[in-house]
Structure 1
């Protein structure tokens, strides 16, 4: 196992400046934070200016109310002179065996519907055969490990030409990344965003369902994708682990693609095991 070290921008003058940055980022006043943490605005002010050193318990309580990511909580603890609380264990470590097995069971149990697990920068760490079906025929340079879910979706040689409502789906993905960037300091995620946002749009006409097509009452924004002459529709659901105690686990996200119409269900079930 390894432990995290302070990231870029970690304060050397105590945890106060870092805590103030997170509070301002969340648009929470000192008084509001004090009320939530059962403290006082005066004490919060003293912590932020370095006039008071918070206890480890208080620092973690404030981090919890500010929704500070687990990785950054270690930086806060180190800046305050405490040992990191959260380990960062590689997913391939033997200690993660039960987690890996559980994820594999979850993904295989979801078949024939697509499902995958990604890390903090959308690199795919596990996927089932439903995802493999969607990626068939893509160029090798996009499939070389580590496969990146956002890159392969928005790249003009990736899934982009197959996605019928591409502009809507692209807007959804970019907005999701923007929210994540606002919640956590991540130079690698920002670099990925800048890369995929600059991709040229695919050269295709907007989807035309035809005059006889029956409208489908989608309950969420669907991903409408053409695979082998068949139009499939999915809505995405993302799950994370509750109260993670490891940085690696905290940054994993499980995305499941739920069929959004009867035609998609029928087609996927027809493929057999």
Structure 2
């Protein structure tokens, strides 16, 4: 797997091998990519072998058809000798005030249901009161900013001992991380994955059979909270066609009640 770690490394390696690696990862042939990008397989081959230098427009067109993340599109442009196209604006920058305000209104509107916003490293950048209530009893050491949603969920001193179907939910989270590692090629994300995958699974992870079978429409997270067993299903949304690296890597996750008992309890949760 080819990994771009800096602008200098990208320029040294050249755009051809990087585009070939993305194409192979997406399991797309040169001919198929050429048809998508209104080009020819010969031209794609010349680009990948360094015999032809693609235009800036072609780099962006190929990146779009290969579904290359915005951050990595900048790396492709650098490797081809062009300036990055997409800025990476800090979330606290005044330029993103509208984004921040919209996020706060969005997750606040989901209350009493838990909702949070995470970045590419699963660090929590915003959370509503429903999420904060779930963190009751978590040691302060794990709540030191930046809070990390995956670490908080899977850590043996975090939420893990309270998640009744931890083995299933853990498998879901780790698979999600593996997909993102393949998509983003991030060494930092790989290091986080290695950390949380190595956490021991508490003995309490063995699920108990419910008194009555429950037909869930998606894999739930079943968690104990203040003496009650709650069931949530997760929904994740992202910004459409973002033009900024920071915004592109934000994800809004909401936890919706998976059964009537949880929905009823949540109505009195924050009152």
**TM-score of the aligned structures, taking structure 1 as reference length:** 0.95
Whole-angstrom distance in 1 between the partners of 2:242 and 2:76: 17
Is 2:240 aligned against 1:226?
no
Whole-angstrom distance in 2 between the partners of 1:7 and 1:227: 47
Name the Cα RMSD after superposition: 1.4
Q: Point out the more displaced range, 7-16 or 216-225.
A: 7-16
**TM-score of the aligned structures, taking structure 2 as reference length:** 0.95
What is the aligned counterpart of 1:235 among 215, 222, 233?
Answer: 233
Query: Residue 267 and residue 166 in structure 1: after superposition, are their counterparts in 2 closer, same or farther (change >3 A)?
Result: same
Aligned counterparts, 1:101-116, within 5 A:
101-116=101-116
Contact 1:11–1:18 at 8 Å: present in 2 too?
Answer: no
What is the aligned counterpart of 2:255 among 254, 257, 261?
Answer: 257
Shift of 1:15: 1.1
Shift of 1:53: 1.2
Shift of 1:86: 0.1
Unaligned 5+ residue runs, structure 2? none
Aligned counterparts, 1:40-119, within 5 A:
40-119=40-119
CA displacement 1:144-190 (0-9 Å, x = unmatched) = 00000000000000000000000000000000000111111101100
CA displacement 1:7-37 (0-9 Å, x = unmatched) = 5852425311111111111111111111111
Could you say which residue in structure 2 is the equivalent of 1:192? 192
Shift of 1:214: 2.0
Query: Residue 122 and residue 272 in structure 1: after superposition, are their counterparts in 2 closer, same or farther (change >3 A)?
Result: closer
> What SS class does the counterpart of residue 18 from structure 1 fall into?
helix
CA displacement 1:191-212 (0-9 Å, x = unmatched) = 00000000011122623245xx
Q: Please identify runs of 4+ aligned residues in structure 1 that moved more than 4 A.
A: none
